[in-house]
Each structure stands twice: as structure tokens, then as C-alpha cells.
Amino acid sequence: MSEMSKSLSFEERADRSIFPNPITFYYEYSKYSTTVNGDFGGTLMTEAMVKLRQEFPKAEIYFQEKTLDHEMQIIILTDFMRNVLNSMPQAAEIIFMDSTSHVDLMNCTVTLMLTWCPAGSVPVGILITESQTEQSYTLGR
């Protein structure tokens, strides 16, 4: 985009039909992504959760679809994480979280919930949400 702007005159750069602003690109990308990948509450997400549950039958996978009142949430608890919670008493005392954003086409946030042990940290859960707000972690909306 910057290479294109170098070859345009001031008037051409000001004309949004020739040189759209970044917000326009983001809006069009969002529409395209929703069409191709589905929305948070769309059928593609539900199908992906069904497939994930089939591939990992021992893992506990909780999925809350996006509604007008709630944000999309996915909670994953594997056998290893369940063993950590049952065998390490400190897992009930201290939990710390590490979040990473924009890891997929829908810009979800992946949050690892970890506890301490003499060897370092061990995971006790995975939370995938739409945002990093307090409400998305506590209320799911």
C-alpha cells in the first residue's frame, strides 16, 4: 500500500475510491472472513467443535456459542490437566494465566491456565475467547 501511495498524487491519495483507508480494508476482510470461515456462532465453528470432540474423546471440551448476551468461549481440559488438578494441591491455591491474541483467522485469544510445580509450570486448562476482557473470563459475555 505504501508503494502505491508513492505513485499517486495528493488528490488521488485523498480520493477513497482510488486509495481506500485501512479501515475499509479491515471491514472488507472481516466480511470476507465471515463468509469463508463462518462467524463465532456460525455452523463452521459448531462443526469444528464436533470434529474436535470426535478426535479427542477423553478430553473435556465445553463450547458456548456466541449469542447476543454471551461471547463465544471454548474450555479444554485434557487427561493430563485433570491429573494435575487432582494430584497437586497447589493447583487449587495458585493459578496464573498466559494469553496470546490473534492466533487464528477470527482473532481469538488463547489463554493457558497454569500452576507451579518444582519443575516449572504445568497446564490446568485452556480457555479460548473472543477478547481479553474481565467479563469474557468471568461471565462468558
Q: Per-domain residue ranges for the chain?
A: 1-37, 38-138
Instruction: Please give the pLDDT value at position 39.
Output: 64
pLDDT at 123: 92
Give me the pLDDT at residue 2, please.
Answer: 58
38 vs 102: CA distance, rounded Å: 16
Q: What is the residue type of 114? A: L
Q: Mind listing the pLDDT tens digit for each residue in 32-59?
A: 777 766 666 567 777 888 898 999 999 9
Which of 9-18, 47-56, 66-75, 78-87 is predicted with the least confidence, judged by mean pLDDT?
A: 9-18
Tens-place pLDDT, residues 84-129: 888 888 777 888 888 888 766 667 889 999 998 888 889 999 998 8
The helix (run of H) or strand (run of E) holding residue 105 is none
